[in-house]
Structure formats: structure tokens, C-alpha cells
Amino acid sequence: MFRHCHIPVLLALGLLVSLKLKADAEERPSSLSVHNGWYVHDGAAVWGLLQHNGWWRTGQRPNITRNAPGETGPNRTEDLNKLTDAMLQFGYPGFEHNFGLWYDRRRDAHDQDQRNNNQVQPPFLEQPWARSGKGKAWDGLSKYDLTKYNDWYFQRLKQFADLCDRKGTILFHNHYMQHALLETNAHYVDFPWRPTNCIQNTELPDRNPGASAFYDVSHPLRRKLHRAYIRKCLDVLGKNTNVVFLCSEEYTGPLDFMQYWLDTILEWEEETGRDVHVGLSATKDVMDVILSDAERAKEISTIDLRYWWYKPDGKLQAPLGGRHVAGRYTSEIRHTTPEQFHRQVSEFRAKHPEKAIIHGNPETRQHAWAAMTGGASLLVGQLPYADKRDPSEYISPEPCREIQPTYDFIRAHIAKTLPRMSPCDEFVQSDKPVWCLVEPKGDFLVYAFEGGPFELDLSAVTGSFNARWFDPRTGKLSNVRDEAVPGGAVVRFIAPEQQDWGLWLRRN
């Protein structure tokens, strides 16, 4: 039996809704917005994968603040124009940035030794803070001055953000990088805020874990340094429209620091009269409190679901914030099923329909479709080049090939329609997982996870449809039948094979 919920009302008002949406789209500037829970640029949905940058060494992933003097190209000093072109071509229109794990490649060996010279090894992963020219940090260079900033680092971020604004890609900017604060001591020895590495007396511990002290803004100096740094990032990137600000990569910290970070952004917005995109990336307990806080929740335009999920048996995997939980546990998301992935995304989409959703990338086509039909825009992942080697030109990262046919289909056929579509599984009936997106005037995108027969309820819809099968392996479209599919009835479909297929119905 079909459950219609609000759908008949939605469809009955379809003409008015679609006309209003058309008018809104004509008024909307060519910049990033969140519309009906989707990222939209210049009226078209921004959907696909989201590259998470490299933290150390080369031969893995791009990093927009990697500095290889005299060398420009993939995994050296990135050619940002070519990189953003490749992002659009190869299905990863989002790029998540955080500063590197350390500056000098000598630390790639993961030793903890203090360097007795300044013979650093490039490429360098530039840090946000400037060197003071005083003393000697653990890496043999001068200590950091946490009140001064690295001009080269911020110029690169600004250049990349400007390209995103123009081309329709998105920069996800993490203010912080938690990994150094909770992992091995080798990750911490060169951290700029470690007391031996800076001229300020931060009073952080000399050894890991350092997260509790770092996030403790009751300390007057640390509070002042955090505020100045957060505002610096906003001053540089706050005029860009295609930037989403996140607190920290791998953030498993406490609620009070997340509140402080958000309040600092709110204060900056009130002072400058600007409005920026803010993403909430946190453990579930922290997320729930923030989203139940009306003042802070309205600041959030993006929800990041990477830090909790449902296991294959349906049980919740959700560590608590502020408990020194290392963020690397998020890699375990690859073990959950597309069904549970879809469940989590669609639940949050129903609760917060006005906010965009991003999630982790388990690197399967089925998970990507499960997320999309649940209402998620982008999936964040480590997208290395083939064999984790540095290519000579910008080529497709290996995981992108899995979703390339779907990405090309969306851009070619439904990029303008997707922002008006909403998850509505009530329209489909099957013994197997089948998920559905519906557009107010009656277009449908259905995903049959295991193929086979299913029924689509068109009884509340007038007119007829052109129905086409989409093969997500090849990108091929084929007609379901010779004649149009009529509305006004429940229609039975049988996928061409016993594997995943898409069904696209477009109103004639």
C-alpha cells in the first residue's frame, strides 16, 4: 500500500510552485546558494564527490597550499585553474581544505626527533601562521608567531575561492586540523601551537593529547588567538560566495568550542554586514544541541553527517564529543550499507529541508545514489590518483570513475531540475530497496538498488511521461517502452537486469 503523506498537495500546487521557483531562479545570482536542500550555482545543482586534500607527502591528493618552489602541477604547487577545471570535468566539484599535518617533508618518516638544522625538504605544506624569525622550533626553523599570518597561504586560498565563485565549484574551508592533537606524538611535535614551536605561551601540553587544552577558550590567550585567527579566515574568504566554512577536519571536540566558533562567525557577520555559508561538522550529540538552538541553527546552511551513521544492523555509531576520540574512526563508514546510508540522509533531510547535506564517501556507486535520492549533495572522500602516484596532468581521481556516468547524466539532463526535487519514497513500492526523487510539476528520478520489478504511483499525476532507463555503469539512456507512460494510475516497471538501475520520467 502506498503512503502519500504530503505528495498530493505538493503535486496539486505544482504549477504555482514551479512558476515561483522559476521566478526565484531568474532573480538568483550566479553564486552558491542552498535551494530546497541542494547546492545550486547559476540555477544548476552542484552534485558529486568532494575531494579531501592531502595532509602530508605527495603521491596522494592535491593540496591547494602545498608549495613546491619551481614546480607547478599535480601534487606540487597546484595549478589552481587546471585543478578547478578537472574538478568540474571529473565529478568532484567540491574541495575540502585544511592546513597540513606538518610543514617539512622530513617528518614523513613519522619520527619525533628534533631537527638540528634548517635543511627543510620540499614540497612544503604551508601553515596559516607566519614564522617569527626568533628562536628555533622543533623542525629547525624559527618559531611561529600566532598573531601573524602567512601571506602566501592566504593568497592561495583566496585565488582558489575566486576560481570557485567564477566556475561553480565549492571550497570547504576547515579553520583547523584536529588530527595533530589526538594522534601519535609524531603528528604533534611540529604543531604550530605546541609551546616549543611558537613565541606565545599557549600552555598546551608538550605531548599528545593536546585537544582538551587547545579547545579550552577559558584560557585568555588561547581565546584571543582563536578569535583573531577565525576572523582572519573570514576577512580573506568572507566576500566569496562559493566558500563553506567548517570548524575543523576530524572535529570530535566539545560543544562549547563549537558554540564559540559559531558565535565568533556571527559576531563577524554582524560587524561586517556579510553573510557566509557555515557548515556544521561534529559528533551527533554536539550536532543535535546546535540544531536545537534556534539562534545558532539559523546560521547553519550545511550539515555534515560524516561523524556518525547507522551500522548495517541499524544500530547507531555515534561517539560523544569532547572525549578525545580520534577522528580516524570515520573511515569505518565504508562498512555500512547503502540502505542505512539512505536512511540517515533522508531522515536528516526531512528534519532540515532547508539545509544542504554532505556525507562521507564509501566509494561505491550504490552509496552515491542512496545519498542523492535521500537528498545529499556531496560526498567527501580521499580521492587519490591511480596507484597514488603523481600524474603529469590533471586526470580523474580513481574513485571518481565510479560515479562519472551519473555525474555526466545529471549535468546534461537534470542539473536545473534537481534543485526542485525532493526525496519521496512513498511513490514507490517494491520488495527491494527502491528510492525516489520527485519534482513538483511531476518529473521523477527512481533508483532500483537491486533492479527487479517495482511500482510507481502516478495516480495523483495528470498527463503523460517519457520514461527512460539509465544505466549507471555506462551512462546509457534507453526508452522503457515505445509509447508514453500515462499518469493517473499505478504503473509497474521491471529493471532491465538484476542490478542497480535508474528510471527517469520526464513529463511530456
Share of the chain above pLDDT 90, in %: 90
Higher pLDDT, 24 or 363: 363
- Separation between Cα atoms, residue 23 and residue 19, nearest integer Å: 6
Average pLDDT, the chain: 93
Q: Are 260 and 244 in contact (CB under 8 A)?
A: no
Q: Which residues pair with 210 in a beta bridge?
A: none
Report the range of poorest mean pLDDT among 58-72, 199-213, 259-273: 58-72
- Separation between Cα atoms, residue 207 and residue 340, nearest integer Å: 39
- Separation between Cα atoms, residue 386 and residue 397, nearest integer Å: 7
Instruction: Tell me the mean pLDDT in the region 476-491.
Output: 95
* Local structure of 378: helix, strand or coil: strand
Q: Are 345 and 333 in contact (CB under 8 A)?
A: no
pLDDT at 39: 98
pTM above 0.85, yes or no: yes
Q: Are 436 and 446 in contact (CB under 8 A)?
A: yes
Q: Are 197 and 191 in contact (CB under 8 A)?
A: yes
pLDDT at 330: 95
pLDDT at 386: 87
Question: Strand 356-360 vs strand 302-304: parallel, antiparallel, or unpaired?
Answer: parallel
Residue in the structure block whose three cell numbers are 593536546: 210
Q: Domain spanning 425-507: which CATH class is it, in words?
A: mainly beta
Residue 29 has pLDDT above 60, yes or no: no
SS (H, E, C) 263-287: HHHHHHHHHHCCCCEEEEECCHHHH
Cell readout for 439 is 519534482
Cell readout for 240 is 566569496
Residue 24 has pLDDT above 80, yes or no: no
* Chain center to CA of 314: 24
For CATH 2.60.40, the residue range(s) in the chain are 425-507
40-419, what's its fold? TIM Barrel (3.20.20)
What would the pLDDT profile of 84-141 be if each residue is shown by its tens digit?
Answer: 999 999 999 999 999 999 999 999 999 999 999 999 999 999 999 999 999 999 999 9
pLDDT at 14: 43
- Separation between Cα atoms, residue 258 and residue 165, nearest integer Å: 27
Task: Determine the residue type at 206.
Answer: D
pLDDT at 401: 96
Residue 17 has pLDDT above 60, yes or no: no
- The DSSP H or E segment spanning 369 is helix 365-374
- Separation between Cα atoms, residue 317 and residue 374, nearest integer Å: 19
For CATH 3.20.20.80, the residue range(s) in the chain are 40-419
CA-based max dimension of the chain: 79
- Separation between Cα atoms, residue 355 and residue 298, nearest integer Å: 10
Q: Which residues of 85-101 are buried (b: 16+ CB within 10 A; e: fewer)?
A: ebbbbbbbbbbbbbbbb
Share of the chain above pLDDT 70, in %: 94
